């Protein structure tokens, strides 16, 4: 749920990075944090375990610029990917404006991708959202690894509705900003349509 | 995708009430967050504090506590209190939609904060109820939506 404040002239939107454990959601946020100017970003908050697995969420506020005199801010969140953090994962989705699904391109992680995508659909439905109606972008991450599924196959299995998708290597930043821009644009266009 | 829109008048009333609460409870910082983690307004010593992060974490805290309440068969826990060495934080749900947070130290007390929060909550609740009752046409006449004449080009430009 975007928050439009006429008094402070701000538009705030919430983007959630979803996907199976170790697919690179936090890495996306870390790269964005590293590459944005200090005045554009807030602190990157990570609620993680001692082994740096996301426990509750990561959070990064980003200020993009102005549109018609309104400051546009995106709040980026990741969910914990591990299966047993289901309860906290669901909480993060509350009020989401757009979702990025980070898929792990490795052959042995395809089942985990499918399971996570199904989990996303179910959790959204519990809040009354329909994934088909939400701004939604796919990211096929880890394209630099040797044992990966071809993009056509990933699209066939994970992306039947043909939403925008980006090939990525989040550790070096490939595809990271392309994904962010795409979801950001989708959200603003959706707002324009409805508001 | 429902939006939460805050207009000048409601914002001014909320800000006024937060100021009153800040003064009457001798607080260090008072702020209001929506349940999704967006900061609505804040009053007090905010200079050295990252209020955006604070807002997001507070909402996470309320969400997690709400999850615990559900598991225990409770509707919710409407008040949270964390005691620190120097500062304490009092978090409460208002009208089941926004979160009112008061940070205070030894210049105040939990009793005073609870009392003042209770009174302010009633005022804030009324503001939100009135916001909900506003008819769509009343909303649109106040000011033109920033999206009314936004073009795809404007959106593209934002992303450089």
Q: pLDDT tens digit string along B19-51? A: 999 999 999 999 999 988 889 999 998 888 888
pLDDT of B115: 97
The string of pLDDT tens digits covering residues B79-119 is 999 999 999 999 999 988 899 999 999 999 999 999 999 99
Task: Give me the helices (H) in chain B, please.
Answer: 8-24, 51-71, 110-133, 136-142, 152-158
CA distance B93 to B95: 7
Residues for chain A: how many in total? 195
**B148 to chain A nearest CA, in Å?**
7
Contacting A with CB below 8 Å, chain B residues are 1-8, 11-12, 34-38, 40, 50, 52-53, 56-57, 60, 63-64, 66-67, 142-143, 145-147, 149-150, 152, 154-156, 158-159
Q: Residue B2 domain-assigned?
A: no
- Would the CB atoms of A91 and B64 count as touching at under 8 Å? yes
CA geometry: angle A124, A25, A53, nearest 5 deg: 100
**Number of domains comprising chain B:** 1
**Contact between A94 and B63 using a beta-carbon 8 Å cutoff:** yes
What is the residue range of B67's domain?
8-158
CA distance B76 to chain A (A): 14
B21 inside domain: yes
Chain A residues 25-84 with a CB less than 8 Å from chain B: 42-43, 45, 47, 56-57, 59, 61, 64-70, 72, 75, 77
Q: Quick check: is B105 in a domain?
A: yes
Question: Is residue A189 classed as helix, strand or coil in its secondary structure?
Answer: helix
| Chain A CB contacts of B38 below 8 Å | 3, 12, 14, 75
ipTM above 0.95, yes or no: no
C-alpha A16/C-alpha A56 separation (Å) is: 13
By three-state DSSP, how is residue A90 classified? helix
Q: How confident is the model at residue B141 (pLDDT cuts 50, 70, 90)?
A: very low
Q: Are strands B88-94 and B98-104 parallel, antiparallel or unpaired?
A: antiparallel
Rounded CA separation A166/A55 (Å): 26
**C-alpha to C-alpha distance for A141 and A145, rounded to whole angstroms:** 9
Domains and CATH numbers, chain A: 3-194 (3.40.50.300)
B140 pLDDT tier (thresholds 50, 70, 90) = low
Instruction: Give A71's Cβ-side CA count (13 Å radius).
Output: 14
Q: For strands A70-78 and A10-18, give the pairing.
A: parallel
On whether residue B143 sits in a domain, the answer given is yes
For residue B43, is it within any domain?
Answer: yes
Please give the Cα distance from A119 to A166 (Å, whole number): 21
Contact B38 A12 (CB under 8 A): yes
Helix (H) or strand (E) holding B89, with range, is strand B88-94
**B77 inside domain:** yes
Which residue is closest to B4 within chain A, CA to CA?
A3
Whether the CB-CB separation of B101 and B82 falls below 8 Å is answered with no
CATH of the domain at B137: 3.30.450.30
Q: Note whether residue B1 is domain-resident.
A: no
Residue at B3 is within a domain:
no
């Amino acid at each position: 749920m975007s928050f439009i404040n006429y008094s402070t002239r701000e538009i705030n939107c919430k983007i959630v990075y979803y996907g199976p454990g170790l697919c690179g959601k936090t890495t996306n946020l870390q790269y964005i944090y590293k590459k944005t100017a200090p005045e554009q970003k807030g602190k990157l908050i990570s609620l993680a375990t001692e082994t740096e697995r996301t426990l509750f969420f990561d959070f990064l506020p980003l200020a993009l610029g102005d549109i018609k005199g309104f400051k546009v801010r995106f709040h980026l969140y990741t969910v914990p990917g591990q299966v047993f953090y289901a309860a906290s994962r669901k909480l993060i989705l509350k009020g989401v404006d757009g979702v990025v699904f980070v898929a792990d391109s490795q052959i042995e992680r395809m089942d985990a991708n499918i399971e996570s995508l199904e989990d996303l659909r179910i959790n959204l439905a519990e809040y009354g959202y329909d994934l088909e109606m939400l701004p939604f972008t796919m990211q096929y991450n880890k394209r630099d690894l040797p044992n990966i599924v071809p993009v056509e196959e990933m699209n066939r299995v994970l992306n039947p509705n043909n939403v925008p998708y980006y090939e990525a290597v989040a550790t070096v930043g490939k595809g990271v900003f392309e994904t962010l821009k795409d979801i950001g644009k989708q959200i603003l266009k959706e707002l324009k349509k409805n508001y | 995708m429902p939006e939460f829109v805050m207009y000048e008048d409601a914002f001014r009333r909320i800000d006024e009430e937060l100021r009153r609460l800040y003064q009457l409870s001798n607080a260090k910082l008072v702020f209001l967050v929506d349940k999704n983690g967006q900061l609505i307004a804040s009053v007090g010593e905010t200079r050295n504090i990252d209020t955006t992060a604070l807002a997001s974490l507070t909402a996470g805290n309320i969400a997690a506590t709400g999850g615990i309440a559900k598991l225990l068969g409770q509707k919710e826990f409407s008040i949270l209190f964390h005691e620190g060495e120097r500062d304490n934080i009092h978090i409460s749900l208002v009208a089941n939609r926004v979160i009112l947070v008061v940070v205070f130290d030894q210049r105040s007390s939990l009793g005073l904060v609870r009392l003042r929060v209770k009174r302010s909550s009633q005022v804030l609740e009324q503001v939100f109820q009135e916001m909900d009752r506003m008819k769509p046409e009343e909303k649109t006449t106040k000011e033109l939506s920033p999206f009314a004449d936004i073009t795809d080009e404007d959106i593209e430009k934002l992303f450089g």
